[in-house]
């Protein structure tokens, strides 16, 4: 459900506010050199408006291995997590299970990419992330997904978006520039595109 992987495969992370974080690094406690996310193995999970990271890093300069246990918010401020590793892992697994039960994908915009150039292209092509409070919703529904209704269309800043498809259960997909992710489970396409 929450499988450890190379940490850069969890990026970019997109916050509900629309802020994107496409890279992550920590200083090696031994040699003080910067260790980037490809040299880390673990998990990153968006929990409400914070991204929690739990990983093992290996410094490419000195070979030192160290634990990375932190969280960052949409202002890109990194804070240490002082809870024991086992408790952090348990809390992340619990939250991942809650998301799955509610039908919300674990990595809404994290597409596994092969190199940094692909990651930049993915980030530039990302559509909108819209919350319920930001849109006007159609009074008509076109069905349901995971027990929740699918509204026919939504409006955001004067633009109408029609229902296109649901987010795949595996949680990996791309949004075009004319698409919007609504309620973290439904994809809408701008009218005329």
27-44 pLDDT per residue, tens: 999 999 999 999 999 888
Average pLDDT over residues 68-80: 84
Among residues 137, 104, 90, 111, the alpha carbon closest in space to that of 16 is found at 104
Please report the pLDDT score of residue 1 as a whole number. 46
The per-residue pLDDT of the chain, averaged, comes to 78
- List, for residues 5-18, the tens digit of each pLDDT value: 888 888 887 777 77
Per the CB < 8 A criterion, the answer to whether 95 and 102 are in contact is: no
CB-based burial, 79-101: b 16+ in 10 Å, e otherwise: eebeeeeeebbebbeebbeebbe
172: confidence class by pLDDT, cuts 50, 70, 90:
low
- The whole-number average pLDDT for the span 164-184 is 76
Decide: 130 and 156 in contact? Cβ < 8 Å: yes
pTM of the predicted model as reported, rounded to 2 decimal places? 0.51
Distances (CA, A) of 45 to 77, 85, 158, 159, 180: 16, 15, 32, 31, 21
Helix, strand, coil in percent for the chain, rounding step 5:
20, 40, 40
Res 126 pLDDT > 80 = no
Q: What percent of the chain has pLDDT above 90?
A: 24
Residue 104 confidence (pLDDT) above 70: no
Tokens standing for residue 190:
């701008």
Return the sign of the alpha-carbon dihedral for residues 177, 181, 187, 188: negative
Count of helices and strands (H, E) across the chain: 2, 17
């Amino acid at each position: 459900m929450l499988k450890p992987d190379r940490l850069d495969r969890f990026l970019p992370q997109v916050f509900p506010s629309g802020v994107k974080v496409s890279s992550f690094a920590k200083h090696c406690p031994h040699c003080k050199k910067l260790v980037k996310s490809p040299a880390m193995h673990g998990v990153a999970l968006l929990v409400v408006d914070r991204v929690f990271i739990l990983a093992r890093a290996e410094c490419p300069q000195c070979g030192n291995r160290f634990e990375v246990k932190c969280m960052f918010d949409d202002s890109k401020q990194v804070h240490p997590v002082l809870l024991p590793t086992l408790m952090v892992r348990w809390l992340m697994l619990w939250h991942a299970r809650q998301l799955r039960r509610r039908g919300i994908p674990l990595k809404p915009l994290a597409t596994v990419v092969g190199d940094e150039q692909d990651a930049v292209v993915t980030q530039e092509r990302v559509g909108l992330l819209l919350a319920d409070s930001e849109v006007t919703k159609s009074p008509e529904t076109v069905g349901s997904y995971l027990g929740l209704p699918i509204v026919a269309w939504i409006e955001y800043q004067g633009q109408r978006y029609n229902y296109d498809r649901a987010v795949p259960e595996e949680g990996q997909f791309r949004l075009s520039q004319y698409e919007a992710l609504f309620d973290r489970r439904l994809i809408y396409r701008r009218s005329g595109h």
